[in-house]
A and B are shown apart, each in its own frame.
Chain A
């Protein structure tokens, strides 16, 4: 089963990459962009057919490795 883990800097955590992207967008004329947060997407292919168990496993992986919960938040989706 395919799962999508999205990891983003927490609100309140400085995101220099997001800021740089926002400035670059501004220089391209995209003036309406008020905020940019840059994170990462991790696609997991898990040998599991039960969605609840697969999601629980992915959340466990996110807490233990994929995200650093001091600075990042994560969401798990079944795309």
Chain B
């Protein structure tokens, strides 16, 4: 799997993401800067990791979504490329118009730094094929703006098209509409989610619940 991780000023989850991607694929991802304007040739996956790009000024992800590299990411997605956005990366994808909806301030107004439980609503995406349909797993959440919002018509369309990929199980801590934790594009190749599966890829640090996401993704590009 040939992956690239995009970093912005204030991104802080790129190293754990790189460890997760390398662990399953044996290949170190390319690290790109927001001012780059081209993606490496032959790329399989672009990852927008978590953090606080541009200090969350204006709105989380708003500045990053308009960075030079995002035109290349948009073109990559339009060609059918796979794009994964985690936490701030999800916020950037919605701000960039690559995924519908928006992430509002958590309903509690509190920053949430704790584990959450997720259910895999569809396992037929490159990102979730490592899980069984309906499987549940734990991941870490660390966000202030994770409250997924879209108007009812958009939510109904997302549900109808099967684009709700991950849902919170039990407590819906950030108040997301319909407990949505992750949504994908119509072609299921762009996924955004708020929790951090890359925090959960090592038995010594937080367990390995998130590993199937990366293992499945890697397998998608290994001809498996």
Contacts and interface: CB of A to CB of B under 8 A. Distances in A.
Interface in A40-72: 64-66, 68, 70-71
Contact of B62 (A14, A16, A20, A65): A65
B150 A70 contact: yes
A12 B151 CA distance: 9
Contacts of A70: 94, 100-102, 149-150
Interface stretch (B11-19, B81-89, B104-112, B196-204): B104-112
Counting chain B CB atoms within 10 Å of each CB, which of A13, A14, A17 scores highest? A14
Interface string A1-39: 000000000001110110010000000000000000000
A65 B58 contact: yes
A38 B151 CA distance: 20
Contacts of A17: 105, 109
B147 A71 contact: no
Contacts of A20: 109
Interface string B47-79: 000000000001100100010000000000000
Nearest to B105: A16
A20 B108 CA distance: 9
Counting chain A CB atoms within 10 Å of each CB, which of B106, B109, B149 scores highest? B149
A71 B102 contact: yes
Nearest to A69: B102
Contacts of B102: 68, 70-71
Nearest to B151: A12
A16 B59 contact: no
Given A68-B102, A71-B104, A14 B58 contact: no
Counting chain B CB atoms within 10 Å of each CB, which of A13, A17, A64, A71 scores highest? A71
Given A14-B149, A16-B107, A68 B175 contact: no
Contacts of B121: none
Contacts of A64: 66
Contact of B59 (A13, A14, A68): A68
Interface of B: 58-59, 62, 66, 94-95, 100-102, 104-109, 147, 149-151, 175
16 contacts: A13-B149, A14-B147, A16-B108, A16-B147, A16-B175, A17-B105, A65-B66, A66-B58, A68-B62, A68-B95, A68-B102, A70-B94, A70-B100, A70-B101, A70-B149, A71-B149
Instruction: Identify the 4 closest CB pairs spanning chains A and B, nearest first.
Output: A70-B102, A71-B102, A16-B109, A16-B105
